Amino acid sequence: MPRRAQPPVNERVRGWLFERAEDEVLRRNGDNRIVGQYGTTWLDITDRQNGMALLHAEGWRSYGKRQPARLARLSYLWGPDDAGAGPWAVRVSGTVTTVTDALAWLTPAEVAAAEAKGRRVRRQGDVYAVETTRAHDGRGLDLLPDSHEWRASTRYLLHRPADGRRHRALRLPWPVRFVPQTAYEMGRTNTRTNAD
């Protein structure tokens, strides 16, 4: 009996990656499909870079009998957490179809400007720590999400997300100001929230 040929390795890896990414999107209450009058469109990977994947779907969603179907788009950026606490997924603009564009969309303008000026920038979860002057050290503390704690005496930023995963403490020996990262809330909304 002839042996069945397995899909190529890149297809198996892509399938494994997609399953992990879709599971994380669903775990965070995201949608994995667009249901409309012309059928269902499912998420698919449109780009992969540096261990991250961009999941995207577009289709015609019905919004009721009196409303014509409208083009709807979903995009999620998925990847391993930078602190080793597990995978994460955030919803980005539905027009985004590449990892590079998703990262640019997520990066606050203040952070991009600081990087362009050669300032040091570190990220922990959904908070950026941007190098600044001593006079501005600690700015943005009022913007820190509840899951973050700044310990000025030891210069450590701590992050304990609501799901219980622990992130490594981030040591910041230079003066810093904090800038939160935002993304769209999961579900059918255009409201932005912390991207954790």
User: If pLDDT is split at 50, 70 and 90, which confidence band does 194 have?
Assistant: confident
Render pLDDT for 143-177 as a digit per residue (tens, 0 to 9).
Answer: 888 888 999 999 999 887 766 666 778 899 999 99
103's enclosing H/E stretch is helix 99-106
In this predicted structure, the answer to whether residue 83 has a pLDDT above a threshold of 60 is: no
Phi-psi region of 9 (alpha: psi -120 to 50; beta: other; left: phi over 0): alpha
How much is the mean pLDDT over the chain?
86
Percent of the chain clearing pLDDT 90 (strictly above): 42
Render pLDDT for 18-32 as a digit per residue (tens, 0 to 9).
Answer: 888 888 888 888 888
Mean pLDDT, rounded, for 88-109: 93
* Cα(152)–Cα(61) distance, integer angstroms: 49
Residues 153-162 as b or e (16 or more Cβ within 10 Å = b):
eebebbbebe
In this predicted structure, the answer to whether residue 193 has a pLDDT above a threshold of 80 is: no
pTM, to two decimals: 0.81
* Cα(29)–Cα(45) distance, integer angstroms: 18
* Cα(123)–Cα(195) distance, integer angstroms: 12
Mean pLDDT, rounded, for 32-46: 87
What does the pLDDT read at residue 9?
Answer: 65
List, in order, residues 6 or more apart from 131 with CB less than 8 Å away: 114, 119, 120, 121, 174, 175, 176
List, in order, residues 6 or more apart from 123 with CB less than 8 Å away: 82, 129, 181
Helix %, strand %, coil % for the chain, to 5?
20, 35, 45
Three-state DSSP class for residue 9? helix
* Cα(104)–Cα(81) distance, integer angstroms: 17
- Highest mean pLDDT (candidates 32-41, 62-71, 132-141): 132-141
Render pLDDT for 5-19 as a digit per residue (tens, 0 to 9).
Answer: 666 667 776 777 888
Of residues 167 and 142, the one with the higher pLDDT is 142
